[in-house]
Each structure stands twice: as C-alpha cells, then as structure tokens.
Amino acid sequence: MISTRSFAKQLLGFALATAFAGSSYAADPLKIGLVLPMSGPFAAYGKQIEHGVKLYLATNGDTIAGRKIELVLKDDSPGTAGDVSKRLAQELVIKDKVDILAGFGLTPSAFAVAPVATEAKKPMVVMNAATSAITTKSPYIVRTSMTLPQNSAPIATWAARSGIKNVFVLIADYGPGYDAGGQFRKTFTAAGGKVVDEVRVPVNNPDYGPFLQRIKDAKPDAVFLFLPPGAGTVAFMKGFAERGLAQSGIKLISTGDLTDEDILDALGDSALGLVTSFHYSADHKSPENQAYVVAYAKAYPKDRPNFMSVGGYDGMRLIADVLKKTGGSADAEKFVAAAKGMKWVSPRGPVMIDPATRDVVQTIYIRKVERVDGKLQNVEFDKIADVKDPGKE
C-alpha cells in the first residue's frame, strides 16, 4: 500500500519525465552559426568577434542549460556582399541545422540575413554591424554592439562645446556612414554648429587624395568622419598628415571606430590627441574590463581587444543568459522575449537590451588617444550614461 503523498510524488516524477521526453532540445548540442568576414579587407572583424565569442565560452564553460555549444563558422568575406552572406546563412539553417544565427561584421551582411532569420524563425544576434535600422529588419534580431547614431550624437555635442564651429563631413558611402553623418549633422547644427560640406567615399580602398584636397581647400575647423576601420582608415590618416591638413590646424573628430585598438598601433603617433566618442575602450577602468583584457591577452597574445571582440563576448553572454532563462530553448519568440530588458555589466560598463528596439542601451565615453605605459590607448575623460539609439527616436 502506498501513501497518497508518495503516489503524488510518483505522479510528479512521471509528469516531469514526460515533459523532458517531449522536449527534444533537452540534451542536444546547441548550434550557433557564425557569419563573419574571416579574410579580405575586413578579416580583422571576423577575427575579433570570433575571439570574443570563444573567450566567453573558454572563461564561462561551453555547456549552457545542459546544452553543449557548437560553433559553425562561415566566412562571408568581404562582408559587404549581401548575397554571399545570405547564401551562407541559408546553408547554416538548412544544411547545418543551426539554432541561432550570429556574428555579422558589416551592415550589408546583417541586412541580407535578416529575412532568412525571419523566415526560418531563428534568433539572430548581431555582434557588430551598426546601422540603426538593422534591428527593424527582423523581429528576431538582438544586437550587442552599438549604433552609429548612438556614438555620433555625443561627439557632436562635445565638438560644439569645444569651440568647433565649421565641420566638413566625410563618410563611407553606405548605411553606417549615412547614420553617422546624419546624426552628427542633426546634433551639431542643433547646438549652433555648421556643416560646410559632405563627401561620401567608397567603402573599399578609395584614393583619398582628391577628398583630402577638397577638405584642405574648404578650411573647416574640423573633419567629422566615419570609415569602417581597416587599411583604408590607416591610409586616410597618413594622407591627412602628408598633405598638411593636420599642420594647417584642421582637427579630426570621429566615433571611436577611427581609433579602434585593432588598428591603433598602425595609426601610430598620428593618432595622438584624437578625441572620439565610443562605448568601449581597452583602457576602460573597471574590474570587469581588467579581467577581460588580461584574459584576452593570455588567449590571443598577438592581438589587442577591441569593441568588436566585446560585441562578440557580450553576444555570447546574451545567448548564455537567455538559454538559462528559457531552460535551453532557442525558440525565436522565447529567445527575444527573454533578451528584452536583460541587463549585465559588460567589459564596456553597464548595458541593457532595450525592450523596445532590441539594441543596447549603454554608456558612451569621450576619450583621447594618449600613450600609456608605452602603448597608445583611448583614455576616457567624460561619459554619458544610458544612451539609447537616437536613430529610432
């Protein structure tokens, strides 16, 4: 004869066992398809984001909510050809049967994959691509990097307050460039400044000579620029110095993409004194960042951690925290519901996923390039807390 109590216990056990048998995800590995440029002009983006994702797993363990994380990496270089990114994402969903799509170094890649995520009902975690509108292209996108308007408004305010009156805008001819230039113009002119001219340059390998001459002739107080960091940025800075623009007193202002730690050493002393606004600096003073920088240096001694690596690290953290909340389910609706409003302390500082936009709300810092212990660093000297993406307001 069994007691009512132990019978109830047996029933509960049976119910639980049935529930687990019914959920096919309980012990399956969880596959994340990473779409990243691993070669070509933006290979550093893929390298940095992959580093961040792997560092998170190495530091925190690669089994989350009972599911072992498997990464499947596809190289969508150059990262600016949407059709390539889209085909690879489709392959990841159909052939590799991934549960989550993630990565996305450049905007064209994220725009092209958004409809794949919607159709396949897969969560899509954007770890770098930063055109504001990206998160509006699929309800299943969550972004862990930034937006260009979010970083461009604070530097426009800083410039207006610092006595800069006339600015020449130079932007890469695609989404993030338009976002950066548009927001800079809006905030700077509202603060009484004037944009005297604007040029749009090709995303890949432009010859900056004619543009630099035009800027020199216009004699602005400063140039505001957005270029996707890489060899092009280094070439621009070299031309800026060689053609005497710096010497003639024209200042350079930018979002921190310009002084990204991955290219900062290549920019060399020409970067000294540059003031930029950004959400991440490897020099950020916090215990979380100190631990991150040390762990990164140990794992990848040849590289420096930058904002893209943190976008990958935080993207992997978001996935882990969501899976813990959903009990291991990567169902797109459940994933996004769990991600909305999520908060944590990133190496960059405190962050939150905006429930309205699925973008990061974060602190934007104003920094200056200085040599610290022999190394070029973006040294933070001012900040604005809880900045939302103004691109969606």
| CA-based torsion, 247, 252, 256, 258: positive or negative | negative
Task: Check residue 130 for interaction with ligand PHB (CB under 6 A).
Answer: yes
Identity of the residue, 176 or 349, whose beta carbon is nearer to ligand PHB in the bound complex: 176
> Which of 131, 259, 346, 362 is the binder for ligand PHB (CB under 6 A)?
131
What is the total count of residues that contact ligand PHB (CB under 6 A)?
A: 9
Alpha-carbon radius of gyration of the chain? 23
Return the number of the residue (46 or 193) whose C-beta is nearest ligand PHB.
Answer: 46
Selection from 214, 265, 273, 209 nearest residue 235 by Cα: 209
Dist CA 142 CA 360 (whole Å): 9
* Least gap, CB of 151 to ligand PHB (angstroms): 9
One of 107, 233, 254, 277 touching ligand PHB (CB under 6 A): 107
Q: Select the residue interacting with ligand PHB from 229, 305, 328, 391 (CB under 6 A).
A: 229
Tell the smallest beta-carbon distance from residue 225 to ligand PHB (Å).
Answer: 12
Contact letters for ligand PHB, residues 346-375 (x by CB under 6 A): ------------------------------
Please identify which residue in 129, 167, 253, 310 interacts with ligand PHB, judged by CB under 6 A: 129
Tell me the C-alpha distance between 145 and 5, whole Å. Answer: 52
Residue number with CB closer to ligand PHB (64 or 308): 308
Q: How far is the CB of 147 from ligand PHB (least distance, A)?
A: 9
Among 76, 221, 257, 359, binds ligand PHB (CB under 6 A): 257
Q: Is 37 in the site for ligand PHB (CB under 6 A)?
A: no
Q: Could you tell me if 134 and 378 are in contact, meaning their C-beta atoms sit under 8 angstroms apart?
A: no
Which has the closest alpha carbon to 92: 68, 78, 75, 69? 75
Q: Which stretch binds ligand PHB (CB under 6 A): 3-11, 15-23, 128-136, 272-280?
A: 128-136
Judged by CB under 6 A, does residue 315 bind ligand PHB?
no
C-alpha 52 chain-centroid distance: 11
Shortest distance (Å) from residue 152 CB to ligand PHB: 11
CB 182 within 8 A of CB 239: no
176 near ligand PHB, judged by CB under 6 A: yes
DSSP-derived secondary structure letter, 95: T
Tell me the DSSP string of 96-158: S--SEEEE--SHHHHHHHHHHHHHHT--EEESS---GGGGGS-TTEEESS--HHHHHHHHHHH
User: Which lies closer to ligand PHB via its Cβ, residue 129 or residue 330?
Assistant: 129
How far is residue 272's CA from residue 371's CA, in Å, rounded to a whole number? 8
249: left (phi over 0), alpha (psi -120 to 50) or beta: left
Residues 132/180, Cβ–Cβ less than 8 Å? no
Q: Which is nearer to ligand PHB, 55 or 225 (CB)?
A: 225
Residues 7-36 that bind ligand PHB (CB under 6 A): none
What is the greatest pairwise CA distance in the chain? 98
Q: How far apart are CA 140 and CA 125, in angstroms?
A: 8
Residue 228 near ligand PHB by CB under 6 A: yes
Q: Which is nearer to ligand PHB, 110 or 164 (CB)?
A: 110
The answer to the question of residue 106 lying near ligand PHB (CB under 6 A) is yes
Contacting residues toward ligand PHB, per CB under 6 A:
106-107, 129-131, 176, 228-229, 257
